[in-house]
Structure formats: C-alpha cells, structure tokens
Amino acid sequence: MYSSFQERPNHLDPVQSYSSNEVRFTGQIYEPPLQYHYLKRPYALVPLTATAVPQPVYLGADGERLPEDSAPEDVSWSVYDIHIQPGIRYQPHPAFAQDADGRPLYQDLDEHALGDIYALGDFEHTGSRELVAADYVYQIKRLAHPHLHSPIFGLMSDYIAGLGDYADTLKAASAEHTETGGDKGFLDLREYPLAGAEVIDRYTYRIKLRGTYPQLLYWLAMPFFAPVPWEAERFYSQPGMQERNITLDWYPVGTGPYMLTVNNPNRQMVLVRNPNFHGETYPEQGEPGDAAAGLLVDAGKDLPFIDRVIYSLEKEDIPYWSKFLQGYYDTSGITSDSFDQAISVGSSGEVALTDTMLEQGIGLKTAVSTSDFYTGFNMLDPVVGGYTEAARKLRQALSIAVDTEEYISIFLNGRGIPAQNPLPPGIFGFLEGEAGINPYVYEKTATGPQRKSLAIARQLLAEAGYPDGRDINTGKPLVLNFDTTATGPDDKARLNWLHKQFAKLNIQLVIRGSDYNRFQEKMLKGTAQIFQWGWNADYPDPENFLFLLHGEQGKVEHNGENAANYRNTEYDRLFNRMKNMPNGPQRQQVINRMMAILQHDAPWIWGFHPKQFSLVHSWYHNAKPNLMANNALKYQRIDPQQRAALQAQWNRPVRWPLGALLVILLAIIVPAWASYRHRQRQPAHRGSH
C-alpha cells in the first residue's frame, strides 16, 4: 500500500508520540491493552491484548472496598486489574537476539562494535520474546522517566498513585547513576517500584488511581499505555546508538501487526507485516448497513491483510492529489481546491462523486470529525473579555456577524457543521436538531433554524455600548485585534474573509500576525484578543471537550488548555460533577445546563466541526472512517493486480508535444544552418563590425 507523510513524525516512542502524524505509525506497531471496535458506533472499547475491558474496584480512605455505585466523593482509590493474553510475541528485533547459549548478543556493545551499522536493519541477528505484564508496568513507569517528556505525565501524575513522587525518585536515581558511571546511561526502572502500577503475575498488572477517573479506559487504548520491553531500552542506551540515530524514538519495538523496517524521515518510512503477530480476526459484527457496504466480507479472516505499507514524504497537497488520481496513492483526502473535481452535490444537498471519479471507480467515505475549530475571545481582555452584560452582548453580536456557514461554504465546500457549543456530533451530550441550537446566534424559522440577522447583531452591539461600531462615550471607532500565526498561501484569503465579517458591523479588525512562538507567548501572557484555535479529541467523552473551558485549565493562570481563560464558578462546579458521571439522562441534564451557561457567556465563536471526506480507489477495501481507532491499518485490504492494471491504463503519457518540439527545433536549426553555410562562403572579414 502507498501512503504519504507530510511532516516527519518527531517521536515514535510511545511515551511521547501524541500528535496524529506520530500515532498513525505507533498505533500500528504498539499494542495497548484496549482498542476501539473498528466498525461499531458509537465508539466502543474492546480488548486488544487484554482479555477483557477492566472494571475498576473502588476503595475507601482506609482501603476498604466500596460498592460500584458509590459517589465519586467517597472513593479514595480505584484499582484496575488488567489481564493480558498469554503467547503474544514481540516483533523480531536485535535487542532480543541471543547466541546459541541463550546469552543476549547485542546488549554489551561499545562504539567500536557497532562499526558500520547505521540503521537497525544492519544488525545481523534478531530475536523475540513473549509479552508479559511487566512490560506494561515498565512503560507506565517510563511516563515519569527523567529523560523523556511525556505529554500526559502532568495529567497522569494527578491520578496514578505515586507517579509524581516517582519522577523525583527517578531524577535522583538518574543523577546518582551518572555520578557513579553506572550502566552506560541505562536506568533500569524495574529496580524502582511504583505504587500506582504493579505486576500481579506474569500476565496481570494493576493500576491504582487516586479518586475516580473513568476516562482512564480511553487512555488505555492509546500508545501511552503500550508495552515496552526493558531489553529494548537497555539496547538503545548503549554507547554509539544515539550517535547513529538508533533510538527507541526512531525504531519502535512492538507486538502489533506491523513493524517499522525503513525509517528515513527525509524520504520514506516502511511498515512491514510483523511475522510474530499473535493473530487477530476481522470483526464479525458492525453497524447496521456495514454488511451492505461490503465491510463484512472479510469477517473472521486473519488480520492484517496488507504486507507492506510505504509512506513517502509529500509536503504539498497538490502533487499528492495528482498522484492519487494517477493511482500512485491508494487513499486521499479532499482539499477544498479539488472539491469540485471530486464531489458533486445533488439537488437536495446530498453529496456524490462526480462522473470522472465514478469512472475511475473511486469511492467516497464521509464522517464528521470529533474536532472543534473555534474563534476564541480572551476573557481577560478589557474589551472583548469580562462577564458584564455589555461584554457578553459584544461577543454575541460578533458571534452572529461571523458567518460560519459562509466560511464552511467557501473554504470547506460545505464540509463542516456549524458548532453550537464545544461538543461535536458523535460525542455524548451532543443534541441533534433544534434542541441543540444556540439561541443567541440562531432563531427558529419555518424552514429550520437561521442565523440571526445583522440588524439584531447591530442592536446587540449598540446595547454593548458601540452603536454603529463606535464607542458611545468617546465616539472612537471600535478596533479589535486578531492574533494569528497565519503565513500560508491560503491564509490571505482567510484573513480577508474574517476582516469582511467584522466590517459588517463597522468594526475594524486588525490582523496581528506573528510567528508561532510569539503567538504562544501572547496566549500564555493573555495579551491576545481574538484568536483561532482547534482541538482534536483524545477520546470520545464529553469531558475531553468541556475541560477546554474549565477554569482550572486557564492558559494564563495554570498553563492549561483553556485558551480563552474562561472561568465560571457554576460551570466549573457542574464540570466536576459531569466528569465522573456515567452516560445517561442525568449526565445529559448536567451537560445541557453547562451548555446554556456557555452559550450565554459566548467565550468562543463556536466555529465548526469539520467533516472528513476521504476518497479510496476501487482496489482498496474495508475503509470505514474511525476517528478514534489509531490502528485501523490492519483492517484494510487492497488488490495489487487491479491497481497495477489501472495505473498503467491511466498513465499513458501524451507524447505528441515532444514530437512537435522536435519539429520546431528542426525548423529553427535548418535555416540557421543554411545561413551558416552561406556565410562560410562569404569573404571572412564581413563578420566583424
């Protein structure tokens, strides 16, 4: 299979890989205990290496066991026991290589022994071993490793018992280690026990959390909680490895269906089927309609289907798109520029592929992504921020004026849903239809909800103290500042558009562009005024969106994810309650109340949730957008013969212009030659002048 990467992944170490371009690799290689069901919606967790999805046991302050339905306030500890399947083996890797006597081959190398080894593939021998529970525990300990920067360390140390202190322990141990010259920089975490993660037996381990944190299960489906064998870490910490770019960050070691064999971030990354894969079968059940869509044809067959996946570096969208059309890539997204070529929208708004696409046998998959793209107000700002009624009205007026529908239509070709609040569809708490409409921006009409008119926005603006865009006291025109890092080719159009939206209310929008770092600094200091920001769900729980406006997450005060620095006591109280509730009508009620508060305060112009459109060629099977699962590759199947045939058919070069060029060249050369001959016969001195 052929795919591409736009930017090289920074980290492939499961402790650090977080962004989507990293997880798309680590997800195929590492196997955390849980995964998302590939076909079922709403998203459901199923075991991957675990035997079952673990259920927490709640403990009181004195360690006594509490009933399952205890109130979160009473629970002091929750304990998860995770059993893994026996017999799972790691991919072949030199770290496991042994000689005839069972001694490790490559664990005591010095720089000299590495010789001309520059990539992992240059090692002659490889080995493997069985996956054990200790490997999972080892990885949890690595979250606190002094030399690694896990993005979730801060979050997890709030929950996993003793993880915060453990980091200090390791730091001290590491310092001591360096002084005594220890084992070449390898810090054996097995020697340092962690209260929150323990091995129970060969195939069982236990995670102990402070209080309750039901969202832990979602994290258990991410590579952060995948197993890492200590041998690998020791192997990579030998002298000379780092110098040769042979690190765990670069060459992952996993139990998953694929292993990374080539990693040249300047050009190509190659995933190859792991010969030791423990085996898994294609799911037999799906959503209604999956069978009709041909998604269950492979039910029960062994995974994975594809042997090799080649990812090539492709920085620009345009060449990628052309190559997709030529059949050199198997799947593609759609940029707004190629939209009209690919998609035709029917008379009642339904999307379909254009005839040219259908002729090529290309298929279309759509899904609303679990992301937010919003325009935030800095609530600390004296003009747009604050919780007075006037400030609210200003923000509400702006929320009406910025015509998200038009934005979606121009820049996304309609591939998006205007957001009413932070919750995207598919996440619990999202309300369909009129029930979910933001009453401050939309009004009900006979044909459904409509964006309120500009007259209402102007009215609100006047009530906020800026009639006709001018300060009622000083008469000065209102000027707002938009902070952005935009420099790309498409950004000029976006900025112009935004400027137009504010101009509708006679408000001048000053675009303050700066580089990424300066933007970050402004956000951290709270000197930005209006900004755009996005959030991509970590897991399908409303908590993962609503915490973006939680007071404790304030960017300026707590360096958190609440970029708008929004703080509302009532909201924060409800958030803490909602966090620990199971999905159900009660939780919905709490969420509804939170939404009402947010919509009234309008700290964001809610923006939109983008729809993902992806195209797949006819030889590509089992594609179903799954926004949560990061290991979907193993379910995909392609038909290489069909691909080769079609590629050849589509790419007949047009050669006649070459011939034409030749003729033109001849037409120029022949007279020139004739003239040259003519000159030759002339007396020589005529040439000079």
Instruction: Please list every residue from 326 through 355 that binds another protein, using CB under 8 A.
Output: 326, 328, 335, 337-338, 340-341, 344-349
For another protein, the closer of residues 290 and 381 by Cβ is: 381
The answer to the question of residue 684 lying near another protein (CB under 8 A) is yes
Beta carbon nearer to another protein, 348 or 641? 348
* Burial class of residue 488 (count of CB atoms within 10 Å of its CB; 0-12, 13-18, 19+): exposed
Considering the complex, what minimum distance in angstroms separates the CB of residue 135 from another protein? Answer: 24
Residue 2: CB minimum distance to another protein, A: 11
Q: Which of residues 396-455 bind another protein (CB under 8 A)?
A: 406, 409-411, 413-414, 447
Q: How far is the CB of 283 from another protein (least distance, A)?
A: 30
Q: How far is the CB of 582 from another protein (least distance, A)?
A: 25
- Near another protein in 629-658, by CB under 8 A: 651-655, 657-658
Closest CA to 531 of 437, 607, 451: 607
Q: Is residue 179 close enough to count as binding another protein by CB under 8 A?
A: no
Name every residue whose Cβ is closer than 8 Å to that of residue 62 and which is 6 or more positions away in sequence. none
CB count in 10 Å sphere of residue 314: 16
Distance CA 552, CA 570 (A): 13
* Residue of 323, 365, 504, 621 that binds another protein (CB under 8 A): 323
- Long-range own/partner contacts, residues 350-353 (CB < 8 A, 24 or more apart): 351/613, 353/615
Tell me how far apart the alpha carbons of residues 563 and 554 are, in angstroms, rounded to a whole number: 7
Burial class (CB in 10 A: 0-12, 13-18, 19+), 597: middle
Residues 91-120 interacting with another protein (rule: CB under 8 A): 118
Interface residue with another protein among 499, 504, 577, 593 (CB under 8 A) is 499
Q: CA-to-CA distance for 81 and 57, rounded, in angstroms?
A: 9
**What residue has token string 């923006």?**
607
121 binds another protein (CB under 8 A): no
Q: Which of 586, 597, 483, 582 is nearest to 550 (CA)?
A: 597
The structure tokens listed for 73 are: 């306030």
Coil, strand or helix at 504: coil
- Minimum Å gap between C-beta 683 and another protein is 9
Select the span of 282-290, 380-388, 516-524, 564-572 touching another protein (CB under 8 A): 516-524
Residues 240-279 that bind another protein (CB under 8 A): 242-245, 247, 249, 264, 266-267
Smaller CB separation from another protein, 87 or 448:
448
Exposure string over 442-478, b if 16+ CB within 10 A, otherwise e? beeeeeebebbeeebbbebbbbbbbeebbeeeeeeeb
Instruction: Determine the 3-state secondary structure of 353 from DSSP.
Output: strand
Q: How far is the CB of 248 from another protein (least distance, A)?
A: 11
Q: How many CB atoms lie within 10 A of CB 629?
A: 19
Q: Which of residues 522-551 bind another protein (CB under 8 A)?
A: 522, 527
Give me the 190-219 binding string for another protein, x by CB under 8 A, dash otherwise. Answer: ------------------------------
Q: In this complex, which beta carbon is closest to another protein, that of residue 263 or of residue 599?
A: 263
Does residue 154 bind another protein (CB under 8 A)? yes
Q: Specify the DSSP class assigned to residue 476.
A: P
> Which span sits near another protein by CB under 8 A: 221-229, 435-443, 520-528, 569-577?
520-528
Among 87, 444, 586, 676, binds another protein (CB under 8 A): 676
Q: Is 158 in the site for another protein (CB under 8 A)?
A: no
Q: Cα(17)–Cα(630) distance, rounded to whole angstroms?
A: 12
Interface positions, 9-48, toward another protein (CB under 8 A): 10, 18-19
Pair 80, 140: CB distance under 8 Å: no
**Contacting another protein (CB under 8 A), which of 520, 612, 614, 618?**
520
- Quick one: 37 or 177, whose CB is closer to another protein? 177
